Structures are given as C-alpha cells and as structure tokens.
Amino acid sequence: MASISKLSTPISAPSPFSSRNSRSSLPSNSFIAFRPSSDSCLNLFASRLSVRRSSHLTGSLVVKCSQGDGNGIPTKRTVLHDLYEKEGQSPWYDNLCRPVTDLLPLISKGVRGVTSNPAIFQKAISSSNAYNDQFRELVQSGKDIESAYWELVVKDIQDACKLFEPIYDQTDAGDGYVSVEVSPKLADDTEGTVEAAKWLHKVVSRPNVYIKIPATAACIPSIRDTIANGISVNVTLIFSVARYEAVIDAYLDGLEASGLSDLSRVTSVASFFVSRVDSLIDKLLEKIGTPEALDLRGKAAVAQAALAYQLYQKKFSGPRWEALVKKGAKKQRLLWASTSVKNPAYLDTLYVAPLIGPDTVSTMPDQALGAFIDHGTVSRTIDSNVSEAEGIYSALEKLGIRWSEVGSQLEVEGVDSFKKSFDSLLNTLQDKANSLKSASSH
C-alpha cells in the first residue's frame, strides 16, 4: 500500500475543582532519574522534567518504595501501582520513541499502556537518529516517503505491544494496549478511515493494539464499523459530552453489529481531552472579565470530565448493556487525555488528581507522569462532587459560553494540529531521503 491516507487528588486540596491554588514555591531542581541510555525517551524525561516536591520531602525522590515483594527481594512501588490496584484506574504513558525498551523502567513503575499520535511521532522521528538505519534501507528499497513513515511507526508499535503483552494477557484483554492513529488526513473520510483501520490492524498484527480514530462527525460511523469488524479502537479528540455520547453509541452499535458470539477481545477507550478545554475557555473567561468569570478559570475541563463520567455510568448499565455483557463485552473505558498542565499557575497534577475513578485510564506525558509519581495522592475523586461540577458547567453556559461551540473549535484545532505534524514529518523525511540520495551519488 503506497499511501494509507489515500485509502477509500492533591494532599490537602480543598476541592478537585479549586484549581487556582498555585504550586508551592519549593525547589524545582529534583529530577526523575532513570538509567542512562543513548537516544532515549527517558533521557529526555530525566534531563527536561523538573518536578515539584511536597514540602515535607527532602532529597531527590525517584519513587516511593515498598519493603519487598514477599520473597525478600526489594521492589520499587509507586503511586501508579496504587492507582490501578486501589482505585481501578490504569496509568498510561503518552509518548513513544526508540528504543522502545526505554519503556521498561516505566512499566516497572506501574505504567500499563502507551498512547501515540502524529505529533509524538513527528517529534520522535525528526529529533532522533535511532530511525536512520531503517529509513535508509526503506528509501534504498524504493519505498515512497509515506510508506516509509508507516513502516517506521508500525515497527515501534509492534515492539511496544510486545513489551505490554504480559499485562494484556494477565488482565484478559483488559489492559496493556498500545495506540496508533490513522492518518489525520482521513478525519473527514468515513470509508477511508475504516479501510485505514483495517490495514493498520492487519499490518501491526498484535492483539493489544488500539487503532486510534478521531471523534469527528464523519468518523463516528467509522468507529461503529471498525468495532463491528472486530477491531479494538481508541476514539480520540473528544472535547464535549454530546460528542462523547455519540462515541459510546457507536461502540454499542458496533458490538451489536459484529455478529460475534464472544465480544471479550473487542475493546475500546474513549479519549476525552482535558487541558485544552481549559486553555480555550480560560481565554473566553478573561475576555468576559467579570469577577464571576475570572473565578471559573481552570475549572471547566475537570467539571466537564466529571459529567462525562456520569454519562459513562449511565450508558454502561441497563438492559441493552447487560445483553452485550452476556456475550463477554467490556465497557468502553473513559481515557483522560491532554493531561499536561499548560498554565503554570495551576497545580501540576490538576488534570490527573481530580479525575481518579474505576474503569478509567489516565494517559500522561512526561510532565504529568513525573509530577504524579513524585507527589500524587491516590483516592477516588472523579465523582466526589458532582453537584459542584454541574454548577460550574451551568455557570459557564449562563456566561454565554457554548459547550458545543467549544467542542467544535477544539476538534478542528486538534485535527489541524495533527495534520500539520504529519505533513511536517513527511517533509522532514523527504529532506532526509534527498540527502541520502545526494550522498550516494557522490
């Protein structure tokens, strides 16, 4: 296939919604430390990520340790283990690059899955030499640039899937997934997205791969049809409760249309974006400028997420769902995406700590993951104050902020951002290919 895109809770926090508390003014020079390795994602993690420390801590924390694993062997245990074992939330890592073996220390710290997107691969491939040898071979064999891109990506996804397969097996297909996204050029192409999902699922050929499909209006039917084909899906770029409900219905419709007697291996997550919601709504609130409006800054995203969880509980109950459960169906878990804090005035765990609850996933990039490992607290928070969330949601509407318009704008921006990353990477690869050809001709 020449071109797939051408296919037809914080300590002492007063409330999970009280986000205007600044981070403590403590030394910011403690780092997450991992073993060094060349060309490593985790070297970047260690060198770039500065994590705030709680006031009662001294020294540089790596992890919080337990005494042993029962066999006299010291094991390092982090809050990520507690997050899963005590509250039923799976911590995933929102990043991927070579060598994928650099994920092993994170897996030992409790990470249970990986998400990727075009922006992540753009950064990984364009800033690393680890892809050069394979890319050179692909170019020399006559592969076009986009085909070469997909081969680079598929290798990373396959290798990462292998690392997480034990978790997938241990949880009976409940966890341990690695996500790869269809071309962002297909965001408005219903049939092309289905064909791309089939192709990616086939070439990756790993049981624990999630094919990412955006929750655009055109791709809602694609989600249904992909699920109906027995392919597990990570639905991405969800920015509103209304669109989220359409995503759930697409999943249920797909399961019912599959004709499978055993649905236990067809699973899904719904990636509900968080911090980007605050980034946009905060600007609207500042434009309004009243004390009431300014007081709502940094509260919209978590409030909407809490209401999404209420919808999740409602939709995955009752006769329709129970009929699917009898065939082995698993709930489509809510996944909190875009969990990095973009406003430095906010708590660095703002989009992780208030969104802890059973049957959910939190996918964290370096900043959020490091902050939560360092000083995160594990307790169920997602539905601890639903009435307050409803109040915030309504208050924003009364100020003239239309949730549907916010969702639509963020969706367009998200798709455009991924398209730009995709095009930028293809241009970078084309330049590399030209350099290789030039060098070989001299």
DSSP code for 240: S
In angstroms, the CA 297 to CA 295 distance is: 6
Is residue 212 annotated as a catalytic residue, yes or no?
Answer: yes
* Spatial distance between the Cα atoms of 186 and 223, rounded to a whole number of angstroms: 13
Beta strands 209-214; 178-181: pairing state: parallel
Q: How many residues does the chain have?
A: 442
Per-residue pLDDT at 32: 35
Interhelix angle 132-140/145-170, rounded to 10 degrees, is 130
Supply the pLDDT for residue 76: 81
> Which helix H or strand E contains 303, and what residues bound it?
helix 300-315
**CATH class in words for 79-278+330-380+404-435:** alpha beta
Tens digits of pLDDT across the chain (442 residues): 444 433 333 323 334 344 333 333 333 333 333 333 334 443 433 333 333 333 333 333 333 333 333 334 445 899 999 999 999 999 999 999 999 999 999 999 999 999 999 999 999 999 999 999 999 999 999 999 999 999 999 999 999 999 999 999 999 999 999 999 999 999 999 999 999 999 999 999 999 999 999 999 999 999 999 999 999 999 999 999 999 999 999 999 999 999 999 999 999 999 999 999 999 999 999 999 999 999 999 999 999 999 999 999 999 999 999 999 999 999 999 999 999 999 999 999 999 999 999 999 999 999 999 999 999 999 999 999 999 999 999 999 999 999 999 999 999 999 999 999 999 999 999 998 998 777 766 6
Q: Which of 163, 151, 262 is nearest to 208 (CA)?
A: 163
Other CB atoms within 10 A of residue 377 CB: 17
pLDDT at 67: 33
What residues does each domain of the chain span? 79-278+330-380+404-435
> What's the pLDDT score for residue 24?
35
Catalytic residue (one of 109, 185, 212, 299):
212
Nearest alpha-carbon partner for 191 in 335, 38, 7, 362: 7
Q: Rounded to 5 degrees, what angle do the CA atoms 153, 159, 160 make? A: 90
Give backbone dihedrals phi and psi of 268, rounded to 5 degrees, phi first.
-160, 155
